[in-house]
């Protein structure tokens, strides 16, 4: 009887699923064995992927088979890669700062542009455009609904932003408190944030429930096929 990879995978999957679900009873060595093996295997797989899909095609191949210009260009990231590997050694970790500085600088520039053009401006524009009647008509939305919904969206956006304003001044009685208007606005903002977090929680539960359903379904299917 030949075991197909799917059968093998099925058996292993069943085994590991049971081992992990045993945590519902309580922490036990079987659960720990499964988790530690998972971490090791995952790390090994990531290392293999990083090698085959990052290092080989972007460093080794250009250095080995690329033109002179490609080799010259590739030498710099190779040097940077070696510097990053110096983080393993405590004595030579200082050299890794150069490569890390380069990474941080490039990343900072990317996130600045992305936050500015990808989130900040569009979202503010969208808050304003929530009262756009033309767009609402294009979507077959009534004006009352637009204004009603737009008001809630606008209020939620503004009060949520005010909630995260923590600048305060000392009062006459020695306490440090925010302005009264900001305090009231922050209190309203807390309501909207609570609703948002509750929505996120419901989504997390739905995702977890779906994962559990998928695992139990796989167990049942395996047992059914077995």
Q: How far is the CB of 84 from another protein (least distance, A)?
A: 5
Pick from 72, 143, 152, 183 the residue near another protein by CB under 8 A: 152
Pick from 72, 92, 111, 133 the residue near another protein by CB under 8 A: 111
- Residues 41 to 100: which contact another protein by CB under 8 A? 41-59, 61, 73, 76-77, 80-81, 84-85, 87-88, 94, 97-100
Determine if 36 is a binding residue for another protein (CB under 8 A).
Answer: yes
Residue 185's alpha-carbon distances to 165, 166, 171, 180, 196, in angstroms, are: 10, 12, 19, 9, 17
Pick from 139, 166, 167, 175 the residue near another protein by CB under 8 A: 139
Pick from 137, 177, 182, 207 the residue near another protein by CB under 8 A: 207
Pick from 72, 92, 124, 184 the residue near another protein by CB under 8 A: 124
Pick from 72, 92, 120, 168 the residue near another protein by CB under 8 A: 120
Distance CA 161, CA 131 (A): 20
Determine if 184 is a binding residue for another protein (CB under 8 A).
Answer: no
Pick from 1, 2, 13, 91 the residue near another protein by CB under 8 A: 13
Please identify, using beta-carbon distances, which residue of 168 and 217 lies nearer to another protein: 217
HEC string of 65-83?
A: HCCHHHHHHHHHHHHHHHH
Pick from 72, 92, 133, 161 the residue near another protein by CB under 8 A: 161
Residue 168's alpha-carbon distances to 172, 173, 188, in angstroms, are: 13, 14, 18
Q: How far is the CB of 146 from another protein (least distance, A)?
A: 11
Quick one: which of 105, 93, 56, 97 has its CA closest to 78?
A: 56
Q: How far is the CB of 86 from another protein (least distance, A)?
A: 9
Distance CA 219, CA 17 (A): 8
Determine if 142 is a binding residue for another protein (CB under 8 A).
Answer: no
Only segment of 20-28, 166-174, 175-183 that touches another protein (CB under 8 A): 20-28
Determine if 144 is a binding residue for another protein (CB under 8 A).
Answer: no
Distance CA 183, CA 190 (A): 10
Would you list the DSSP string of 143-190? HHHHHHHHHHHHHHHHHHHHHT----EE-TTS-EE--HHHHHHHHHHH
Distance CA 226, CA 219 (A): 10
């Amino acid at each position: 009887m030949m075991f197909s990879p799917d059968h093998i995978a099925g058996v292993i999957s069943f085994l590991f699923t049971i081992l992990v679900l045993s945590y519902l009873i309580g922490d036990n060595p079987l659960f720990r064995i499964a988790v530690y093996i998972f971490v090791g295997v995952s790390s090994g797989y990531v290392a293999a992927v990083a090698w085959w899909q990052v290092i080989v095609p972007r460093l080794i191949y250009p250095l080995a088979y690329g033109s002179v210009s490609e080799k010259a260009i590739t030498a710099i990231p190779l040097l940077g890669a070696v510097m990053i590997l110096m983080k393993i050694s405590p004595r030579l970790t200082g050299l890794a700062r150069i490569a890390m500085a380069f990474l941080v600088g490039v990343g900072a520039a990317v996130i600045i542009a992305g936050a500015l053009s990808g989130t900040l401006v569009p979202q503010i524009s969208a808050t304003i455009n929530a009262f756009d009647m033309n767009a609402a008509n294009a979507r077959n939305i009534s004006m009352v609904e637009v204004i009603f919904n737009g008001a809630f969206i606008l209020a939620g956006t503004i009060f949520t932003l005010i909630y995260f304003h923590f600048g305060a001044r000392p009062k006459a009685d020695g306490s440090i408190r925010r302005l009264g208007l900001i305090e009231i606005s922050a209190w309203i903002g807390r309501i909207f944030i609570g609703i948002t977090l509750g929505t996120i929680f419901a989504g997390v539960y739905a995702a977890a429930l779906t994962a559990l359903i998928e695992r139990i379904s796989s167990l049942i299917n395996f047992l059914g096929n077995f």
